[in-house]
Amino acid sequence: MAKSGRHFLQIPGPTNVPDRVLRALSRPTIDHRGPEFAVLAKEVLSGVKEIFQTSSPVVIYPGSGTGAWEASLVNTLSPGDRVLMFETGHFATLWRDVATRMGLQVDFVAGDWRHGVDPAVVYAKLADDRGQAIKAVCVVHNETSTGVVSRIADIRKQIDAARHPALLLVDTISSLGSIEYRHEAWGVDVTVGCSQKGLMLPPGISFNAISEKALAASKSAKLPRAYWEWEPMLRDNKAGFFPYTPSTNILYGLREALIMLREEGLENVFARHERFGRATRAAAKAWGLDIVAVNPAEYSGVLTAVMMPDGRDADTFRQLVLERFDMSLGTGLGKLKGKIFRIGHLGDFNDLMLAGTLGGVEMGLKLADVPHKAGGVLAALESLASESLESVS
């Protein structure tokens, strides 16, 4: 069937790529060993530090987030090292799998996929580890499969309270540039990030922000590494180059995305996403549908995972919404498959795009005969209209 108007890409990443970024991406590819490239690389390598809120180096890989997960582990750890991980959802489980395959011994704290990491459990686990065998604590900041945020600053405090030297590795793949995050102030050792969500870029590049402590650990870490090795990256990056072919055009896009985020101001970007979260939760509440996150301190401004009433298949509903309204909603992942759908409200996104998104969901619920109450869109509009838009300049 012929389609008119724009597709609504409301999965929690990859997100809508703004026209300004699309135009930047479409520039001719240049020699990645020439002087023009060095200017671009230096600009983005320095600019991206603002997004991680750090003054220490950030490396940029041509690769997806999974590669950057692997990089964070192989650069800092040795075969057989113990790491502490938490089952907050599908992505935390996949990161655990990467660690296991790399030959690490993972202490995986079981979870119900509805809560973030409990800082008190971090304390208890580390205080118990008298021989300091645990070398790293790995946490997913925004669990994209559930819409639950773990409180990184509180986790850091508990690591300090336990006086434990473990490194803190954090996945910010779906929170970077959309939920408040401070690599340096929160004492994170490696932050893993990605292009295709809050940074409003296509998939294709990923990041490691590296603390001094992590850099020191990399000198003695013994896991095998080649492509992901920090040392040649950091060496060549100083002059604006890469040890292998970088994603030249995505770096053009990154330069533009960084300008856009700077124009809006990070604090305003975070506040905008929080508003979207509040409005979407107001809609879900009015529909009478539960969301996956249970603790208000862990609600996500990036996505809302909505639970289907018993016996209703979320993917059948999603398919109807796609066919009828040309809108992609996020599927349930892992053990939530078929049980939930996820509404992405991040990136290059505004109030009216959210109104359209929720309109599509509400019409879809009616057409699919999913038991719910009407009025979700209205509740969201009231939430959006009742909040002032004071911005920090």
Backbone angles phi, psi at 265, to 5 degrees: 90, 130
Beta carbon nearer to ligand PLP, 174 or 383: 174
Shortest distance, position 171 Cβ to ligand PLP, whole Å: 5
Distance CA 291, CA 293 (A): 6
211 contacts 188 by C-beta, under 8 angstroms: yes
**Options 53, 56, 64, 100; binder of ligand PLP; rule CB under 6 A:** 64
**Options 140, 168, 271, 327; binder of ligand PLP; rule CB under 6 A:** 140
Quick one: CA dihedral 187, 256, 240, 173, positive or negative? positive
Beta carbon nearer to ligand PLP, 178 or 280: 178
Residue type, 138: C
Beta carbon nearer to ligand PLP, 13 or 111: 13
Residue nearest to ligand PLP (CB): 65
Beta carbon nearer to ligand PLP, 64 or 319: 64
Of 171-190, binders to ligand PLP (CB under 6 A) are 171, 173-174
| The pair of three-digit structure tokens given for residue 322, joined into one six-digit string | 């796609």
Shortest distance, position 246 Cβ to ligand PLP, whole Å: 17
Strand (E) or helix (H) holding 282: helix 266-287
Q: If binding is defined by CB under 6 A, does position 70 make contact with ligand PLP?
A: no
**Options 10, 72, 75, 144; binder of ligand PLP; rule CB under 6 A:** 144
Shortest distance, position 135 Cβ to ligand PLP, whole Å: 21
Q: Name the residue among 186, 95, 93, 78 with its Cα closest to residue 135.
A: 78
Q: Name the residue among 237, 230, 189, 302 with its Cα closest to residue 48.
A: 237
Residue type, 368: A
Per DSSP (E only), the strands in 157-292 are 167-171, 190-194, 205-210
Shortest distance, position 143 Cβ to ligand PLP, whole Å: 6
Please give the residue ranges that form the binding site for ligand PLP (CB under 6 A). Answer: 13, 64-66, 91, 140, 144, 171, 173-174, 194, 203
